[in-house]
Structure 1
C-alpha cells in the first residue's frame, strides 16, 4: 500500500537526496520546511551546503511540473510542496505555540485526518530525525519514523574486525612454525565465505589450554598470516590482543584507511598518535602528521570564542595534547607540550572546519571523535585524502553529541560497514579499557 510521507526539515538537511529513497510513495514537503531550508542556505558549514543542494534538487524537480500539484520523481513516487492543510486549529488543542515544528505537525495531522475520511485512506507518516517531533506526532495519532536509509541494519552485529575460532593445538603450533596457515587447513573455516580482507582471527585451543595465536586474513592468498606488532611503539606497549591488531593496521603501508572504535579509555587515540609519530618522525614514510577533530557540535562557528584561531581551538584539542604529553614524556626536557608541538614543523592539529577544500598528499591523517560526523561529512573528509596518504578514523559510537546521529547512522559506523570488503582498509573494535580501573568501571556501568 502506498503511503504519504511528510518530511521534516532535518531529514532534507541530513540527506539532500532523501526524496529519492521512499520508492513509489508520495513525498510531501510542507511549505514551512522550504522556508527553513531557505533560512539555512547561507550557512558556511555542512548544514548550509546541504541546504543549497536541497534547493538545487527542488529546482530540478520543479522543471518537470508544478510542485504544488505533485511531480513524478521517476521511480514511481511523487514529490509535492504542500501549500494547503496549514490550519493550526486541530493541533492548537494540544500544542499551543505556533512554532515551525508545530506547523509541520499541523500539516501532517490535517492530511492524516483528511485521509481517514476517504474510503481507501493512504497512511500518513511523518519522517523526522528529531525524537521529540516523532513523540509529538505519535501522541496526535500520526505514524512517525526516523529516516533510516543511511543506517546499518543492526548495530549489535556491526563488524568488529576479528573473530575467535577453537582449533586443534597442532594447528597453532604449525602457525608459529610455518608463519602462516591456509584457510583450507582449518576445518572450522573451510566453509566460511564471509571472511573479510584484513580480518583478524584468534585461534584458541579447542581443549581449553592457554595456547592461542592471533592472525590476519590475507584474502588474496586465502591464508592467515602473522601480525606486524612490535613490542613498543614510541614507548607504548600493546596491553591486549585488540591493541596488537590496531598497531598492525596502523603500521602497515598497504592499508590506506583504518577505523578504530571502542569505549572511552581503550587507547584508540594514543595508539594512533604513537604510530603516526613513528611513521612521520622516525621512518619518514609520511611528510606530515595531521590530527583533526570536529568542533562539537559539528559545523558550529568557533568565532564566538575569545582569542585567535589557536586559542579558540584549545578547548577542543586539549585531549590531543594530553596524549602527546604522555608520548613525549622522557623524550623532551621541555615540559610545555605546546612548545614541543610548535617546534616540530610536520605535526599539525586542526579543527575539521579548516580541512574542507584541501588536498592532503603523503600525510598520516588522524580524525578523532569521528562518531560525531555524518556520512556526508565523512565522505567529504576521505575524499580530501591525496596520494600516498593514510587516514585513521577514531570514535566511540556510544558517545555521540550530534543530536541527529545515533550508533547506526554516524559516519564512522558507516565507514566500518561499507569499507570492510576492501583490501586497502581495516578495522578493529577495541574492547578492554586500559586508561585506569575507574575509567573502565565507569564505561561499563554508567
Structure 2
C-alpha cells in the first residue's frame, strides 16, 4: 500500500532533518507549512528560527533542480540508508483546494488557523487516493484531535525521536540486584589492576548491563561495569563506605545515589555525564562542586561554562541591561544558590563566592549564543536540558573541544516545552543513545535532599 505522510510545521521545527525519516514513502508538505517556516525563520527566538532555516534548506536541497510539475507530483528523496528504495517529496498548493471532492473540509478562510488548511490537505488526499494510507504527522495534540474529529483516518505524532516506549525503562545508570549477587554466580575470575579489584564474569550473568553502570546488592556489594563485550564483562569492585565518604569541595554525599554520582562525575575517562532526577536531589550541587574541585584543586580545566536555555518569555536577552553574564543571571540563580551552600559557612560568604567565581573563571552563557563556538580545556554544565530537543542537544555537545568535560542536568518532570514530552525529550534521547559509549556516564539521582517539604511536594502535589 502506498503511504502518504502530510507533515505539520512543528515536525520540521522539532527535527529539521525529518524528511529522511520516512524512507521509501511519499512526503507531502502543504504550502501553508512553507509560509509558516518563512515567518518563523526571522523570529527573535534564535533556536527556532535557526531550525526553520535548516528545514527550508533541506527542502531546497531536494527540490532545487525540479520543475514546478515535478515538485507537485513528487521529487525523489535520497535514501540515507543507502538502499534502492527511495521516497518522494511533494509541495501541495493548498490555497487551490476547492469543494470539487466530497471531503469534509474545515473552514480554511483567512480568519481560521493555518492548522485547518494543513488538515484539509490530508482530507483532500484521503478522498483523492482512497487506496493509499494517508496520514497527518503533527506534534500538536489539539490538531490531532481536530483532524480525527474531521474524519481523517490516520493521524500520528512524530515518533522518530522516540527511543523508548515507556519512560520507566530509561537507563538510570545503576541496577539493584536483590539478595546476594555472588551467590548467583557460578564462575568468576578476580584480578588486581593497579589499586583496583576487577571481577571478570560471563556476559550471560548480566545480559542487559551497559558500560559505566553501577550494580549493588542487599549484602553490601557494589561495583561498576568497566568493560562489556559479547562474551564477558568486567566489574570494578567498589567499597560502599569509601563511596559514602567521598568529598569534593567540602561536599559529601547524603545518600548512595549521590555517592555513585560523585564517583561517576569524577572519572577522568568520562567526557560526558548526564545527571537526571527530581528537583532537590542535588544534581546542580554535585556538578558545581566537582567543577570547582577539578579547576581549582586538580587544575584539569581552565574555566567553567554554565549554560541553559532561556525561557520563551525571555527569548531575546538583549533587552536586559548589562553583559551577557549579567543578562543571564535571573535564569542561572540556581548556581548562585548552590555557591552559597558551598560557602555559606565561610567568614565572609559573599567575598568567598566572588573570589571563587573569578578564580575558577565561571562564565554564564545562553545556549542561544553558543552556536558555532568551540570550548577547549573547559568544564561545561548544561542546566534544564529536559526542554531541549535531540537536535538542540546534539548541536551543543558537538561544541565540546579538546580536554573538556560536559555535564548535562535535567528533570523530566519539569518540561515546559509544549511539543516535548518525557518520551520525546532530547534528554531521554541522549541518555539512551550514550549509555553504551565508554566515555559517557548516566546517573539518576532520586533522593530529595532539599527539605522534607520539597520531598512531599515532589511526591504528592
TM-score by length of 2: 0.86
> Structure 1 residues 219-228 or 106-115, which shifts more?
219-228
**Which residue of 69, 75, 85 maps to 1:71?**
75
Does residue 7 of the first structure (1) align with residue 32 of the second (2)? Answer: no
Superimposed CA distance per residue, residues 187-231 of structure 1 (whole angstroms, 9 cap, x where no aligned partner): xx74333321111001223xxxxxx13211111671333267443
Secondary structure, aligned partner of 1:222: strand
Contact preservation (8 Å) 2:106, 2:117 = no
Superimposed CA distance per residue, residues 318-363 of structure 1 (whole angstroms, 9 cap, x where no aligned partner): 1111111111112351436774455435111222122222211111
Contact preservation (8 Å) 2:246, 2:259 = no
- Shift of the alpha carbon at 1:2? 2.5
Correspondence list, 1:184-333, <5 A: 184=201, 190-205=204-219, 212-219=220-227, 222-226=234-238, 229=243, 230-297=245-312, 300-305=315-320, 309-331=324-346, 333=348
Q: Give the distance between the partners of 1:176 and 1:333, measured in 2 at CA.
A: 51
> Structure 1 residues 296-305 or 1-10, which shifts more?
296-305
**Structure 2 CA distance for partners of 1:5 and 1:333, relative to 1, 3 Å:** same
Q: Give the distance between the partners of 2:53 and 2:448, measured in 1 at CA.
A: 43
Does residue 40 of the first structure (1) align with residue 32 of the second (2)? Answer: no
Secondary structure, aligned partner of 2:273: strand
**Structure 2 CA distance for partners of 1:123 and 1:169, relative to 1, 3 Å:** closer
Contact preservation (8 Å) 1:325, 1:337 = no
Q: Give the distance between the partners of 1:298 and 1:407, measured in 2 at CA.
A: 22
Secondary structure, aligned partner of 2:218: strand
Where does the alignment leave 5 or more consecutive residues of structure 1 unmatched? 206-211
Correspondence list, 1:410-429, <5 A: 410-429=425-444
Q: Give the distance between the partners of 2:310 and 2:413, measured in 1 at CA.
A: 18
Superimposed CA distance per residue, residues 375-405 of structure 1 (whole angstroms, 9 cap, x where no aligned partner): 1111111111111111000101121112221
Q: Give the distance between the partners of 1:176 and 1:368, measured in 2 at CA.
A: 40
Q: Give the distance between the partners of 1:264 and 1:328, measured in 2 at CA.
A: 21
Aligned to 1:50: 51
Secondary structure, aligned partner of 2:423: coil
Q: Give the distance between the partners of 1:88 and 1:328, measured in 2 at CA.
A: 69
TM-score by length of 1: 0.88
Aligned to 1:357: 372
Q: Give the distance between the partners of 1:77 and 1:375, measured in 2 at CA.
A: 24
Aligned to 2:458: 443
**Structure 2 CA distance for partners of 1:282 and 1:84, relative to 1, 3 Å:** closer
Secondary structure, aligned partner of 2:443: strand
Q: Give the distance between the partners of 1:340 and 1:356, measured in 2 at CA.
A: 29
> Structure 1 residues 161-170 or 400-409, which shifts more?
161-170
Aligned to 2:118: 104
Where does the alignment leave 5 or more consecutive residues of structure 2 unmatched? 79-84
Superimposed CA distance per residue, residues 111-167 of structure 1 (whole angstroms, 9 cap, x where no aligned partner): 22334xx4xx22321111111111211211222111100111222211111111245
Aligned to 1:209: none
- Shift of the alpha carbon at 1:417? 0.5
Aligned to 1:368: 383
